[in-house]
Chain A
Amino acid sequence: MFIYYLRLAMLSLRKNILLTSLMITAIGLGIGAAMTTITVNYLMSADPIPHKSDRLFYVQLDNWDPNSPYQEPNEPPDQVTWLEATNLMAAGKAFRQSAMGQSTLIVEPNRPEQKPFVTRVRMAYADFFPMFDVPFLYGSGWTANDDLDRRLVVVLSKATNDEVFGGVNSVGENLVMEGRSYQVVGVLDDWHPRPKFFDLSTGAFNLPEDLYVPYSLKESLELPSTGNNNCWQPVSEDTFQAFLQSECVNSQFWVEFEDPDDQYEYLAFLDNYVAEQKKLGRFPRETNNRLSNVMDWMENQEVVAEDARMMMYMALMFLIVCLLNTVALLLAKFIGRTGEIALRRAVGASRRTLFAQHLIEAGLIGAAGGLLGLILAWLGLKGINGLYGDQINGLTSLDPNMIALAIGLAVISTILAGLYPTWRACSVPPAGQLKTQ
């Protein structure tokens, strides 16, 4: 019967092209607006590393001002100091761990025709690469010994390798940066986690850095912090060493556990660590250490912007308005067909059968509206991309889940919109209709 109903629906839709077009357009507009904003929200809140996001934890320690919290009501700083970064690394209590931060370096390419350029650098520890499953095109990350020995090693992004080495395997080559020669140990494949969860302080949807060097070089080479840097008291002296020893927070610290339950043991370790630091006159606030897994950390940092959420709610309301219009149009269409409904009832169709027939017709309109909505959503996302550009890298593409959601939402919402018109049309007593035909 389904095929029969589909055939009847096609006939009915072809019969009044104008009415059909109006309904499909109404649904398409609503779905287009809703899907544009839902897609942005969905991609903003997507799990960037789903197979281990429950085992990766972000560390927060409250070394802040005793008189006022870092953020109300009692939030600890969202980064750690260089002291904590290096001390926790030295303790090495987790299965994997890496302190990290952002800096910049000037690359001096070997080829004379290429001019030096400034590039963003991620300073990290050897565990960074296996911890975040960073994919390699050539070579690998550096080793823990390279961290300890403060060796001048570098991992290039694919784009940087393309630019500096023409895309060939550059492992073992040297790259000169600010007068120092770094040995290339690895080249990344395309890697663009969305959101860039490992450092939300430098823009949740920015591209990852172009180069990766050991965090331990920060001290020896006096690499500046170019990400967020927050201090609650002035640095004692105007020297780099004083800056490192200060209470300024500018590094991120991630740990990986083999079992999520290991977090409790690690939290106890952090509490002990802070207790020791208190004895040294640091950490004047009450102990307030936090461990947040990837999704909790993104929630905490409000990766999904409030205005994006508001836009989504408004678009959903617009969809409801479009659906109400569709209800009115379906009502007009179905009520105009009471003669046919009466005839079908007379020759043996039950109300349930007729309901199915009309809801399939509504579903077909919804599917067509969904397809139109997908095209409009695609155009909408292109428009958003044009407006915001790099700020929303990767947030403006429709993935298969979103396509399925668009069609599903369109079909289901149109079927729901068709319930009342169908009920009204099927409630008209057939006897009177048959006589007045």
Chain B
Amino acid sequence: MLKMNNISKVFRTDVVETHALRDFTLHVEEGDFVAVTGPSGSGKTTFLNVAGLLETFDDGDYLLDGQSVKGLSDSQLARLRNEKIGFIFQSFNLLPDLNLFDNVDVPLRYRRFNAAERKRRIEEALEVVGLASRMRHLPSQLSGGQQQRVAIARALAGQPRFLLADEPTGNLDTQMANSVMDLLEQINKEGTTVVMVTHDPLLAQRAQRNIFVRDGRVSEVTSNADASELLHKTAQVG
């Protein structure tokens, strides 16, 4: 599903080079629910951006759903993002001037579906997140948890095989965070591969696999308990 081999990513300015990823190797299988944890600055978000084709990489190989992404044009990358990847961000990133229907419609527009197909998918996605009755509301009329649900609906509407979530509960209280996590688990159970970056060990425990990242490198932990322990240690080191 997602195969990264020895990926390197260096951010350069005139005076300094920052190695965000070093020989980063990770294989995610279809149907996985992977939580990526690690201290601040460890490279979690860079990994997610590279995985989501929002960032290029300097070295290594990256196969997404069996296709190498190296050397693809901007249009080809955009198409891959549109068809195979759904994004969920910490700050929701809804477009404030568009109502829920039109927000969920955004990725579908770039997919060139006809109006009837788009409508069907939008209604279905909003139904899944429990907001079908509010599709004509603006994001500002919703709570934070509801806004994140809309963002999830937007990510789901295109029926991607791969969901990337960057701190999806970071801006939510515990109750709302749990409800969003329930939703992600449900989506995963229905077959969508989920990769989630989080700081929260409790949320990470709900994933099937935990990946611990430090200094741009991967340390894979299969047991949720171990992951929790590792996170605890990291917090002490930090």
Asked whether, in the complex, the Cβ of B74 is within 8 Å of the Cβ of A346, the reply is: no
Q: How far is the CA of A1 from the CA of B87 in the complex (A)?
A: 23
Neighbour of B83 across the interface among A340, A348, A349, CB < 8 A: A348
Q: Which residues of A sit under 8 angstroms from B92, Cβ to Cβ?
A: 437
Q: Does A344 contact B (CB under 8 A)?
A: yes
Asked whether, in the complex, the Cβ of A339 is within 8 Å of the Cβ of B81, the reply is: no
Q: Does A280 contact B (CB under 8 A)?
A: no
Q: Which residues of B sit under 8 angstroms from A346, Cβ to Cβ?
A: 52, 54, 81, 87, 93
Interface residues of A in 343-359 (CB under 8 A from B): 343-353
Asked whether, in the complex, the Cβ of A434 is within 8 Å of the Cβ of B54, the reply is: yes
Q: How far is the CA of A200 from the CA of B5 in the complex (A)?
A: 83
Q: Which residues of B sit under 8 angstroms from A351, Cβ to Cβ?
A: 74, 78
Q: How far is the CA of A342 from the CA of B94 in the complex (A)?
A: 11
Q: Does B75 contact A (CB under 8 A)?
A: yes
Say whether, besides A348-B110, A348-B111, A435-B166, A343 and B78 are in contact (CB < 8 Å). Answer: no
Neighbour of B154 across the interface among A4, A11, A339, A347, CB < 8 A: A347
Q: Which residues of A sit under 8 angstroms from B98, Cβ to Cβ?
A: 11
Asked whether, in the complex, the Cβ of A347 is within 8 Å of the Cβ of B49, the reply is: no
Tell me, rounded to whole Å, the shortest Cβ–Cβ distance linking A2 to chain B: 12
Per-residue CB contact flags for chain A residues 223-247 toward chain B (1 = under 8 Å, else 0) read 0000000000000000000000000
Asked whether, in the complex, the Cβ of B93 is within 8 Å of the Cβ of A429, the reply is: no
Neighbour of A353 across the interface among B83, B110, B166, CB < 8 A: B110
Tell me, rounded to whole Å, the shortest Cβ–Cβ distance linking A326 to chain B: 22
Q: Which residues of A sit under 8 angstroms from B55, Cβ to Cβ?
A: 429, 431
Q: Does B97 contact A (CB under 8 A)?
A: yes
Interface residues of B in 26-84 (CB under 8 A from A): 45, 49, 52, 54-55, 74-75, 77-79, 81-83
Q: Which residues of B sit under 8 angstroms from A342, Cβ to Cβ?
A: 93
Please list 28 pairs of residues, one from A and one from B, whose beta carbons are closer than 8 Å in the complex, sorted by A's number. A4-B109, A15-B97, A340-B95, A344-B110, A345-B81, A346-B52, A347-B81, A347-B87, A347-B106, A347-B107, A347-B158, A348-B78, A348-B79, A348-B81, A348-B107, A348-B111, A350-B74, A350-B77, A350-B79, A351-B74, A352-B74, A352-B75, A353-B78, A429-B55, A435-B90, A435-B166, A437-B91, A437-B92
* A interface residues (Cβ-Cβ under 8 A, vs B): 1, 4, 11-12, 15, 339-340, 342-353, 429-431, 434-435, 437
